[in-house]
Chain A
Amino acid sequence: MNGFRKEFSTLTLVLIPVAIAINIAVGQVATRVTWLYLDSIGTVLVGVLVGPWAGAVTGFLANIVWTAAGLWTPAFAFAGVAAVIGALAGVFGKAGWVKEWPKAALAGLITGLVAAVVSAPIAAYVFGGVTGAGTDAVVAAFRAAGLDVLGANVAQGVASDPIDKIATYLIVWAVLKGLPERFKVRFSED
């Protein structure tokens, strides 16, 4: 728990709701410009800037807020997945992967695959294999091909989550590149 306490300065605490608001704002814009979700930009940002614990808290609470704000009620069921995404961002951030775009893209790929695997059982067993989104057509296609409920959800996740997370990491890489160094060091625990 030492890492947790170290990561939680007032500055970090104040950053997290801002990151959640960024998740929401960019997520809404993304649906109008592209088919990607791009709803974890803030989560990944906090993970990379501060650390795994802060990233996990951001992801978890972002999904709670998403439900509480009435944007998509089922969001809270995936809070754990979002926490994993945030924690991974912290790990990749500490490893320095987000400093160059090829590694950042790889970080996104790995995060996407992990997210797909972790969220598939929730979609399959809590929601009967659907999420009420357009991606259900993809799930249907996989079911038609003979996969069972869990398999079809894993397949759909693997088909769409990595692209979304690669794009997210690339955007975070680009944004951080342009950020003055003095801002970045204020947030990290060192």
Chain B
Amino acid sequence: MQGSTLYLERESGLHRLHPLTKLAFAGVFLLAAVSMPGIVSLLSVYTILLLSLGAWGKLLVPLLRNSFLVIWPFVLSLALIQGFFNPGETTLFSLGSFTFSQEGLMSGLTVAARLLLALSGTLLMMLSTRPDKLMLALRERGLPNWLGYIVLTALQIFPRFQDRARVILDAQKSRGLEIEVNMVRRLRLLVPLIAPLVLSSIVDVEERAMALEARAFNYPAPKSSLIELHDNAVQRAMRFLLVILMLALIVFRLQEIFSV
């Protein structure tokens, strides 16, 4: 499929896994991000498990680059805001009447580590899984047809809309859109940008609806697919164990919450 997604094609064992297996990995990393007690355990899971999966998928560089780009603003904001405003005894330095504490800093960095693990787990899955294969796997397990259709189609068509919007924006710029200082005027100038986008899309929509119906989209019989998914007993067992692991992590976390 065309369109713009994170998926990167690679010849690797990770890529050959069934999409639901990879989804299960992402689930484990998300729950681990929530339930691991501290920054050491979080970063251990990250380096030992997540990065090795990334290396297996030959995706280490894109994984690190993408996660860095997403996470660095969080690290900065968390370190500063929690460092200054969270309660803490060990002062590292002061700025006016505000003190920057070590406890606050550690607390902020721990949250950042949780986000790193959760977001990287999600990224790893998206980098190694083709969206249409994932949708097919979910559909086989009961996901409604229309849900997969919406997500896949949106992923396919949005770059075209970005291009169209950029063309109209450039035309507006030559009429002084960015020179306008007044916010209200700027908003009013946005309308001639959005209106043609919406109007041409609606005409598009009517044609698409007819095309879908002509292809028996709503016909209730089961459909055959062009894509083949490969699964085996080992992966099924693996997914079962991963689900057990996820439940264990949930129990672990609930225990923590209720024993404080």
Interface residues of A (CB under 8 A from B): 8-11, 13-18, 20-22, 24-26, 28-30, 32-34, 38, 41, 45, 57, 61-62, 64-65, 67-70, 72-74, 76, 127-133, 136, 139-140, 143-144, 167, 170-171, 174-175, 178-179, 183, 186
Contacts and interface: CB of A to CB of B under 8 A. Distances in A.
A8 B146 contact: yes
Contacts, number: 183
A130 B154 contact: no
A184 to B, nearest CB: 9
Give the interface centre of A13, A127, A131, A143 by most chain B CB atoms within 10 Å.
A13
B160 A21 contact: yes
B contacts with A: majority SS: helix
30 contacts: A9-B209, A10-B212, A11-B205, A17-B151, A17-B153, A20-B158, A22-B197, A26-B194, A29-B165, A29-B193, A32-B169, A33-B177, A33-B190, A34-B187, A62-B154, A68-B151, A70-B4, A70-B126, A73-B66, A74-B115, A127-B115, A128-B108, A129-B78, A131-B77, A132-B76, A139-B81, A144-B98, A171-B190, A171-B191, A186-B206
A13 B178 CA distance: 36
Contacts of B194: 22, 26, 41, 171, 175
Interface string B19-53: 00000000000000000000000000000000000
Nearest to A13: B146
Those 6 A-B pairs whose CB atoms lie nearest each other, nearest first: A132-B73, A128-B111, A17-B153, A130-B77, A17-B154, A25-B161
Contacts of B218: 10
Contacts of A9: 209
Contacts of B191: 171, 174-175
B260 interface: no
A139 B78 CA distance: 11
A contacts with B: majority SS: helix
Contacts of B123: 73
Give the interface centre of A41, A67, A70, A170 by most chain B CB atoms within 10 Å.
A70
A64 B218 CA distance: 24
B157 interface: yes
B11 interface: no
A20 B70 CA distance: 22
B195 interface: yes
B163 to A, nearest CB: 9
A10 B206 contact: no
Given A20-B158, A25-B164, A72-B70, A179 B198 contact: yes
Contact of B217 (A10, A25, A67, A74): A10
Given A17-B150, A128-B111, A178 B195 contact: yes
Nearest to B153: A17
A11 B203 CA distance: 11
Given A136-B81, A140-B84, 15 more contacts: A22-B161, A24-B158, A25-B165, A26-B190, A26-B193, A29-B165, A29-B166, A29-B190, A68-B155, A70-B6, A131-B77, A139-B77, A170-B187, A175-B194, A179-B199
Nearest to B73: A132
B186 interface: yes
Given A22-B161, A132-B73, A127 B111 contact: yes
Interface in B83-122: 84-85, 98, 107-108, 111-112, 115, 119, 122
A167 B217 CA distance: 37
A17 B157 contact: yes
A127 B74 contact: yes
Nearest to B162: A25
